[in-house]
Amino acid sequence: MTRSAFSPEGVTFGVCLVALGVLGTLANLGKLELLPLLRTYWPLSLVLWGALELVDLMLRRSSRGRS
Amino acid sequence: MSSTPFDPQSHSAAPATAAPPPPLPAGPGSAPFVRLPKSPGLAAFLSLFPGLGQVYNGRIARAFVFFFAWVGSIYLTATGHEFPFAFMIPFVYLFNIIDAWKGANAANARFLGGRSEPDEQLEIESPVWGGSLVLFGVLILFNNLGWLDLARLERWWPLLLIAIGGYFVYASLEARKAAGGSGE
């Protein structure tokens, strides 16, 4: 039995918060429109979450193979 | 005065002659009381507002995921994306309550030194969950970018139920096979 190398949902949440902060700052500076951007690209968070779940699975399998 | 005067002898004699109560018999019911750190009922009650039960359980990332999934589903349904987000509202809401209940039980199990259920869930040994998230995200992204029209797939949504049901049957058969292989 192997434990997770990291928490995919925690990393996704952190990355999303950072991205939201950067985009919010740029929106406040008048560089972009925040809401249309979020409405279009929010599924990228699902893609990131799923990709991290797959990476986590691969890491666990490889660490189990070594032990 | 006609009332009888207070006689300290009569009061002090009674406790002296009465036998002390016998000790309770030791048995399985006399185990020491352990106060568990989390109440599953309270966690489920707090999750009537999505995410609050997860905050109570100390799982802040999950709390935000449930809160935004719920609010996002309502917002997208209200802005004309009834499919699939109208289906997601009750799903997210009920899953949020169940997750809070299980999270509190898991915290109690960890406190008592047992194995917690979410740790088992974290060890999903199948790429189906991660693959489904990526696929779902890509489909919605393509729909948002206008490269794909998910509304055209509306009539095929029952195929999703077939796929999920098939996966559960497969997983249950695999679990049975693994249990048989381990000597049961």
Q: Does A35 touch chain B (CB under 8 A)?
A: no
Say yes or no: A25 contacts chain B, CB-CB below 8 A: no
Q: What is the pLDDT of residue B100?
A: 93
**Contact status of A49 with chain B (Cβ, < 8 Å):** yes
For B4-61, what is each residue's pLDDT tens digit?
444 444 444 444 445 555 555 555 555 667 788 899 999 999 999 999 999 898 888 7
* Residue in chain A lying closest to B140 (CA): A43
> Smallest CA–CA separation between B31 and chain A, in Å?
33
**Residue B155 per-residue DSSP state:** G
Report the candidate in B142, B153, B152, B56 with the shortest Cα–Cα distance to residue B105: B56
Q: Do B65 and A9 touch (CB under 8 A)?
A: yes
Tell me, what's the pLDDT at B117? 52
Note whether B61 contacts A57, CB cutoff 8 Å.
Answer: no
Query: What does pTM read for this prediction?
Result: 0.58
| Inter-chain CB proximity B130 and A51 less than 8 Å | yes
CA triplet B67, B72, B77: central angle to 5 degrees?
135
Q: How far is CA B61 from the centre of its chain?
A: 15
Q: Name the most confidently modeled range: A44-48, B73-77, B173-177.
A: A44-48
Asked if B73 and B123 count as a contact pair (C-beta separation under 8 A), the reply is no
The rounded Cα A32 to chain-centroid distance in angstroms is: 22
Subunit contact A50:B132, Cβ cutoff 8 A? yes
pLDDT on residue B98: 92
Backbone φ, ψ for residue A15 (5° rounding): -60, -40
Chain A residues inside the 8 Å CB shell of B119: 3
- Chain A hits for B135, CB-CB cut-off 8 Å, are 50
